[in-house]
Chain A
Amino acid sequence: MHNQNRDSIDLGRRQSLKTMGDLSLLGVLTSLGIMPNLALAGLSAAAFEAKSLDAALDALGGFIATENAAIQITAPEIAENGTVVPVTVECSLPQIEQISILVEKNPTILAASFLIPKRAAGYVNTKIKMAQTSKVIALVKANGKFYRASKEVKVSAGGC
């Protein structure tokens, strides 16, 4: 019994050492310029690993986001094919910094997150996978504050 406990602790430690190893490898690659300009600042892997809407919003920093009519989500009422669901998010708020698209009932909630530089319009159009009928949420960070809007999309054949 005692040994078993020790083994599981060791395993946990090995796993965390391995994770640290992976992280430092990424650091080395980045500093060597092998992964030069594609690493994004300000977005955590935790946001993409989140398995609940609350956890994803939390990881994005947008847990307290107010509903805002300036955010417009365009998506089909009924999506016949869940593997390709077109979603457009358009937002007229000033100083938009980030637009994220989340699907409440997908196995992984956060589909994509876009950083909006000063020269970009508050607009993005993409295609996502949906496992089942769900709310699609747009989380917008503008002038340091978070706002959200959502739209229900019925999915006939899920595709995740």
Chain B
Amino acid sequence: MSSPTKMKAAIKGEYAEVKMLMQHVMENGRRKDDEGNVIPAWYITAFKVKHKDEVVFEGQFGTSVSKNPYLICRFFGAVAGEKITVSWVDNRGEQREDDAIIE
């Protein structure tokens, strides 16, 4: 089971700024455990930020994004009190979606 993405969204002048902390191990598939076995790759491959059913930011990750991916994006056309949704999928096909209200 995955953990919720921690999020904070706030209006900053002309744009809304969304800070996200996705909870994921982001294993790159090259590390070894104490017994010398390779730890399989396990990482978020894609994410989306939505506002009013419209994608306002999205991206793809490789294996060089740090554990528990941290991300800030900015988008226009939102006001305080509206909802944003952040979703991700990893290379095992696991998904999750979380929302936050813009402050």
Contacts and interface: CB of A to CB of B under 8 A. Distances in A.
Contact of A108 (B60, B63, B70, B76): B63
A120 B66 contact: no
Interface string A24-48: 0000010000110111100100001
Interface residues of A, number: 38
Contacts of B65: 111-112, 126-129
Contacts of B76: 119-121
B62 interface: yes
Of the four ranges (under 10, 10 to 19, 20 to 34, 35 or more), the interface on chain B belongs to 35 or more
A107 B72 CA distance: 25
Contact of B73 (A37, A40, A107, A120): A120
B34 to A, nearest CB: 18
Interface of A: 29, 34-35, 37-40, 43, 48, 83-86, 88, 103, 106-108, 110-117, 119-121, 123-130, 160
B28 A113 contact: no
Contacts of A38: 46-48, 87-89, 95
A160 B28 contact: yes
25 contacts: A34-B93, A37-B87, A38-B46, A38-B89, A40-B58, A40-B59, A83-B66, A88-B72, A107-B30, A108-B62, A112-B59, A112-B65, A117-B56, A119-B77, A120-B57, A120-B74, A124-B73, A125-B70, A125-B72, A125-B73, A126-B72, A127-B65, A127-B70, A129-B65, A160-B28
B25 to A, nearest CB: 12
Interface string B71-98: 1111111000000000111000101000
A121 to B, nearest CB: 4
A125 B71 contact: yes
Contacts of A117: 54-58, 75
